[in-house]
Amino acid sequence: MKSYTPDKIYNVALLGHSSAGKTTFAEAAAYLCGDVERMGKAADASLLMYADAEEKKRGVSLSASVLALERAGSKINLIDAPGLFDFAAGVREAVRAADAALIVLSGKSGLNVGSEQAYDLCVAQGKPRAFFVGKMDSSHAAFNKVLNMLTAQYGTAVCPVVAPFYEGESVAGYADLVAGKAYSYASGAAKEVPMPADENVQNLTELMIEAAASQDEALMEKYFDGQKLTEEEIVSALRKGVCAGEIVPVFAGAQQVPAGVDLALDGILRYFPAAASVKDGEVACDPNGPTAAIVFKTVADPFVGRISLFKVVSGRIAPSSRLINARTGEEQRVGKPIMLKGARQIDADAIGAGDIGALTKLSDVMTGDTLCDPAKPVTLAGVEYPAPTLSMAVYAVKKGEEEKIASGLFRLMEEDPTITFATDPETGEQVLSGLGESHLDVIASKLKSKFATDMKLEVPKVAYREAIRKKVKVQGRHKKQSGGHGQFGDVWIEFEPCDSTEMVFEEKVFGGSVPKNFFPAVEKGLREACQHGVLAGYPVVGLKATLVDGSYHPVDSSEMAFKTAASLAYKAGLPQAGPVLLEPVGTLTVRVPDDFMGEVIGDINKRRGRVLGMNPIGHKLSEIVAEVPIGEMHDFSTAMRSVTQGRASFTLEFARYEDMPEAMAKKVIEAAKVEE
């Protein structure tokens, strides 16, 4: 593949809901551009974009992948993003690398939550966007119905540029409304046919012309004067509107035929911005400028090592390039750059400004890092990832493989920054967090296939606490005689509740009944004892211990003896002091569409939550603030996805500990006894 100047490079993310046909669109594009002799299918894992073994096994995209295409003297880098919510990292990476987005819809189901989220993300990041209404060869596909859905949601910005025309109830072909040409795909290849005298096509053409005219006062005057706008004027006006985010073109087609995909590819070249016109922050796309590139994705390959996918914003990357990592300041040894065609990798002499490529075995380079000229260091914006929402405890299937599992998961974290893996200091469990059940399942499968180790996932333990509700005074006496010096320590301690999260120790000893040099031993004994409560073995909080009296032996008393005596006082006193089990309570904030408020509140109530407030935040969204026991929140992300169709988002932050209901506390206490 030859090199292209930035004015001939187009970087486009393929976004949308799962099963909308994004990856099949990329496959059709590869076929039309001569990169594959025949189109593959997801069902038999033969799609060019499936680079990962898990994608082939599951028949679905799990991460962003790049397809470099050559068409009409230009280069199009399609960045195919996964549609499943659990793999949103790939969506963020694709949008970061792209200069525009093509949101793929199904002609049957139309606009859905995945498409809406993709659109909102593009708006938030200022990316031009268009829709491709696909699967038009399916029964019940209805272009006008989908177009009306888009117009209802996004208003007059929606602009049809390619539309189907019919013979009876079947699609006969597709009309390029701008060029005024129609094409049939009955023979497989596009064949120009007469423009249909179709009232619907004429109405859609009129809508398109109005949208184009609205971008320029001179065109608007010409349009109102009844003069015909030229194709060049329309294309120029539409491109201006698309680049400004004011016009959202709509294409149509059937990916598997493929039909209409060629018109969408041509539309990318006509209406989307070329890389040369796009600035990345303050850095212009300059082929002769100092090198600056953003690493937008990392692949952890157990054989090749780390593969870093990057987009060159300025300058070029070649084997002779001297680059540093802006985050670390370390110089990077640059090998042969790679051009990407889905699962295929093609060696390249260089990757120029505006283009996308990959490098292998870069040391200490992570997703979001900037590779740049040492003489002109710059830091480009990284990739913004969603926070993990589901956590599971990790246990090795085979004993002794804990370190191997940890090593493999840390490698996979390089590939997917939405994963976190750490030891919970409260429970001692190793906890893996991700974006959902499917996400964690794929991580487990990758760990097994890439790093030859197996793990099982279990619901994490909850970090309960214990406390007391009464004041008691007890004695702890330790006396032992075993020849020679004996052991003697005797203390009287008052235990009472307090507000501190840690044990508060005081001494009010009079008359030297316990020498001062033994006070630290008493305190140490109590602090160690507090790590294990008397109900279920959880740490004790809110405890004040006051040493008030005791006795000692001038020969047999020692620090160890008084430490033991304090522990005995603890064990004797706490069961008498009204011990209770405390559970962690978190502050839950849920952003949810108004239509699902009732379902979300109902779910919170089922989890023993208390709704504190509901606040409208605009765009038919509301924010629910509640306090919920953290032990009830394990599968909340799964429930929210189910009851709100994936439209809700939430945060959960620890607030405090509260008394656990007696009936539930009994279950925890019994479970702790069984574990012992």
390-432 pLDDT, tens digit per residue, is 999 999 999 999 999 999 999 999 999 999 999 998 889 999 9
The CATH number given to whatever domain includes residue 636 is: 3.30.70.240
Mean pLDDT, to the nearest integer, of 457-461? 94
Helix (H, G, I), strand (E, B) or coil at 675: helix
Mean pLDDT, to the nearest integer, of 55-69? 92
Amino acid in position 393: A
Give residue 394's pLDDT: 97
Residue 311 pLDDT grade (very low, low, confident, very high; cuts 50, 70, 90): very high
Give residue 144's pLDDT: 96
**One domain, residues 434 and 490:** no
CA distance 533 to 519: 22
Mean pLDDT, to the nearest integer, of 440-455? 94
Residue 312 lies in a domain: yes
**One domain, residues 226 and 323:** no
CA distance 21 to 252: 12
Give residue 115's pLDDT: 95
Residue 378 lies in a domain: no
For 102, 142, 433, 514, 619, the CA distances from 153, given in Å and listed in that order, are 17, 17, 34, 78, 11
Q: Which two tokens stand for residue 370?
A: 């900037």
Give residue 562's pLDDT: 96
Lowest mean pLDDT among 65-69, 184-188, 286-290, 622-626: 184-188
Residue 326 pLDDT grade (very low, low, confident, very high; cuts 50, 70, 90): very high
According to DSSP, the residues that pair with 356 across neighbouring strands are 311
Give residue 110's pLDDT: 94
Boundary-marking domain end, from 252, 277, 302: 277
pLDDT tens digits, 106-142: 999 999 999 999 999 999 999 999 999 999 999 899 9
Q: Which two tokens stand for residue 464?
A: 């309960």
**One domain, residues 437 and 525:** no
Residue 42 pLDDT grade (very low, low, confident, very high; cuts 50, 70, 90): confident
**Can you tell me which residue has the tokens 């194709």?**
231
CA distance 468 to 484: 40
pLDDT of 481 higher than 80: no
Q: Which two tokens stand for residue 503?
A: 């044990």
Give residue 143's pLDDT: 97
**One domain, residues 593 and 542:** no
**One domain, residues 55 and 197:** yes
pLDDT tens digits, 195-220: 998 899 999 999 999 999 999 999 99
First to last CA, the chain: 66
Mean pLDDT, to the nearest integer, of 605-633? 93
Q: To the nearest whole percent, how much of the chain has pLDDT over 90?
A: 85
Residue 440 pLDDT grade (very low, low, confident, very high; cuts 50, 70, 90): very high
Residue 536 lies in a domain: yes
Boundary-marking domain end, from 410, 426, 458: 458
Mean pLDDT, to the nearest integer, of 320-336? 93
CB-based contacts of 617, cutoff 8 Å, min separation 6: 591, 623
**One domain, residues 587 and 572:** no
| Contact predicate 159/249, CB 8 Å | yes
Residue 645 pLDDT grade (very low, low, confident, very high; cuts 50, 70, 90): confident
Q: To the nearest whole percent, how much of the chain has pLDDT over 70?
A: 99
**One domain, residues 569 and 586:** no
Q: ∠ at Cα 674 (669, 676), nearest 5°?
A: 95
Can you give the residue range of the structural domain that contains 447? 390-458
Total of domains in the chain: 5
Mean pLDDT, to the nearest integer, of 287-295? 97
CA distance 60 to 97: 21
Helix (H, G, I), strand (E, B) or coil at 582: strand
Give residue 483's pLDDT: 65
Count of all residues that appear for the chain in the document: 676
Residue 286 lies in a domain: no
| Contact predicate 431/390, CB 8 Å | no
Amino acid in position 432: L
**One domain, residues 268 and 318:** no
**One domain, residues 183 and 311:** no
Residue 385 lies in a domain: no
Give residue 484's pLDDT: 66
CA distance 269 to 254: 20
| Contact predicate 378/280, CB 8 Å | no
pLDDT of 632 higher than 80: yes
pLDDT of 676 higher than 90: no
Give residue 168's pLDDT: 86
The CATH number given to whatever domain includes residue 105 is: 3.40.50.300
Residue 593 lies in a domain: yes
Burial letters 566-599, b for 16+ CB under 10 A, else e: bbbbbebbbeebebbbbbbbbebbbebbeebbeb
Q: How many helices (H) and strands (E) does the chain have?
A: 16, 34
**One domain, residues 340 and 431:** no
pLDDT of 41 higher than 90: no
Would strands 430-434 and 390-396 be described as parallel, antiparallel, or unpaired? antiparallel
**One domain, residues 309 and 192:** no
**Strands of 86-128, DSSP E:** 100-106
The CATH number given to whatever domain includes residue 365 is: 2.40.30.10
The CATH number given to whatever domain includes residue 472 is: 3.30.230.10
pLDDT of 672 higher than 90: no
pLDDT of 234 higher than 70: yes
**One domain, residues 214 and 230:** yes
The CATH number given to whatever domain includes residue 430 is: 3.30.70.870
CA distance 394 to 443: 12
Boundary-marking domain end, from 578, 604, 623: 578
Residue 516 lies in a domain: yes
Residue 1 lies in a domain: no
Would strands 248-252 and 356-360 be described as parallel, antiparallel, or unpaired? unpaired
